[in-house]
Amino acid sequence: MSNVAIVGGGITGLVAAFELKRRGVPFTLFEASDRVGGVIQTVRDQGFLAEFGPNTLLETSPKITELIRALGIESRRWYSNPQNSKRFIVRGGKPRAMPASPPQFFTNSFFSWSAKFALLMEPFIKASPPDIEESLAQFVKRRLGQEFLDYAINPFVAGVYAGDPERLSVKHAFAKLHALEQKYGSLIKGQLQGARERKKRNEVAKDRAKMISFDHGLQVLTDALGATVGENLRLNSPVQCVKQVEGGWALTGRATALSSDLGGTSAGLPFTHVLLTSPAHRLAELSIESPSGGDLSMLGEIVYPPVTSYVMGFRREDVAHPLDGFGVLIPKVENRHCLGTLFTSSLFSDRAPEGHVTLTNYIGGMRAPELALKSPNEVRNLVMDDLRELLGVHGEPVWEHVKQWSKAIPQYEVGYGRFKDFMDRFETAHPGLQFAGHYRDGISLSDSILAGFKAAERIGAEQNS
């Protein structure tokens, strides 16, 4: 019988614990802090709601739907308001709604006729050789042109990755996009034919997946997962060393053996599996003692730019924009301070008191990391400058919440394959050790959830083999 140690109580570790428990596999989850959930944390105050990290979850897989059902929180799941599905992009200093369908694309004036012609010609562009790794910017310019890069891809990447398309690898950061070109020779052809294949797998593309949260924010999900872990959870238990011993692995934290009531080092029984789900920059500091070697410092080279989230509550009459959409993203070429703003109270109800609105603003990332590291007051002033000019804000916020992340989102930059290859080799050389999380399996919240399931399924399969 496997006895599993999970290092890290973020969403991936929690989902892995949930699935192991469902399979009857003994485990212990070690979390360094005094709470589970990692970057997922929600605060509600004076009728306003703010998320520390991600704001929404995409139902891209039936596994996510089944997880919510199994946790008994279906009644607390909220879908985003379909009437506010517009995506605004700043162009010419003003927020403009992006075309939401092919007919709108060709009849709307957002893109020039040269950009529309470039899209029509996309199926005739040759695919790149599979052994050449391009940046996302190179890929988009080759297939769709500069205008698409500037006013579609750049703001999207800033909003999702807090990244720079000139540095992100299309092969690793947008693997499905790369696969479409390699398999079908065209993004348009791939979208049409790939949709049929996703339907067979009962999966939904991220751009079509339903966007959800919960009545009291995303922390509802991690709190429910934490409750299922129960007595198998060890808070305030940072793991500093993982040592290979006879029959498996022993864990040490602050010079003290970390163990499970079902086995572990204190009972003389090692963990047969260790699942590492902490952020890559934390794993780089972890000591691995093994005859096969154990230096994880290379993972410290993965870039995590700083990002600051500044949530503001306003009186509705103090914001001129109708806020009839998801939010507004800001291209780099528009020379603003913020990466973008979510219209939080338009997406979900009960995110602001009656007669008020909540706006979630992001600043920093790869575009301007120095801005995220400024003092909260300086960040506030920069955000307010953008809100006044772009959304017609003419009053002061009545409620504020700021969270600064010095290391926010891992960047799958050109050459990122060396990190994935390193983790593959490390797992092969150290049977029982496994990596899972947003630095390996994709940065979205849905990716991290599916990574937890995949890791637990792999451990379960090894147990039964």
The CB-based long-range contact list for 106-111 (8 Å cut-off, 24+ gap) reads 110/151, 111/147, 111/148, 111/151
Residues whose CB is less than 8 angstroms from the CB of residue 162 and which lie 6 or more positions away in sequence, other chains included: 305, 307, 339, 362, 364, 365, 366, 367, 408, 409
* CA–CA separation, 425 and 282 (whole Å): 19
The stretches of 284-375 forming alpha helices (DSSP H) are 344-347, 369-372
Residue 265 has pLDDT above 50, yes or no: no
Q: What distance in Å separates the CA atoms of residue 324 and residue 63, rounded to the nearest whole number?
A: 31
Indicate the DSSP class of residue 254: T
Residues 254-265 have a mean pLDDT of: 60
Give the pLDDT of residue 198.
60
Sequence ranges of the domains in the chain: 4-39+219-302+412-464, 42-83+304-405, 101-205
Indicate the pLDDT class of residue 107, thresholds 50, 70 and 90: confident
Q: For 161-203, where are the alpha helices, taking DSSP H only?
A: 170-173, 175-184, 187-200
Q: What's the whole-number mean pLDDT along residues 150-165?
A: 96
Q: Which fold has domain 42-83+304-405?
A: Polyamine Oxidase; Chain A, domain 2 (3.90.660)
Q: How far apart are CA 37 and CA 223, in angstroms?
A: 7
254 CB burial (10 A radius; 0-12, 13-18, 19+):
exposed
Mean pLDDT of the chain: 93
Read off the pTM: 0.92
pLDDT at 263: 46
Alpha helix stretches (DSSP H) within 261-412:
280-283, 344-347, 369-372, 376-391
- CB neighbours of 309 closer than 8 A, spacing ≥ 6? 50, 51, 52, 53, 360, 361, 362, 402, 403, 404, 405
**376-407 per-position pLDDT tens digit:** 999 999 999 999 999 999 999 999 999 999 99
Rounded Cα–Cα distance for residues 353 and 333 (Å): 35
Backbone Cα Rg of the chain: 23
Query: Under CATH, which number does the domain 4-39+219-302+412-464 receive?
Result: 3.50.50.60
Mean pLDDT on 239-252:
94
Which numeric CATH code is attached to 101-205?
A: 1.10.3110.10
Query: What pLDDT was estimated at residue 199?
Result: 64
Q: CA 392 to CA 247: how far, in whole Å?
A: 65
382 contacts 367 by C-beta, under 8 angstroms: no
Inform me whether the pLDDT recorded for 228 exceeds 50: yes
For 19-62, the pLDDT digits (tens) are 999 999 999 999 999 999 999 999 999 999 999 999 999 999 99
Q: Which of 449, 405, 455 is nearest to 224 (CA)?
A: 449
Q: Could you give the C-alpha distances from 428 to 77, 423, 425, 432, 433, in angstroms and in order?
A: 40, 9, 5, 9, 9
Whether 345 and 352 have beta carbons less than 8 Å apart is answered as yes
Q: Please report the pLDDT score of residue 411 as a whole number.
A: 98
> In which band, very low, low, confident or very high, does the pLDDT at 205 lie, cut at 50, 70 and 90?
low
Confidence (pLDDT) at 82: 86
Percent of the chain with pLDDT over 90: 82
d(CA 220, CA 226): 10
- The Cα-based distances of 235 to 33, 34, 229, 247, 258 in angstroms read 6, 5, 11, 26, 11
- Tell me, what's the pLDDT at 202? 61
The pLDDT > 70 percentage for the chain reads 94
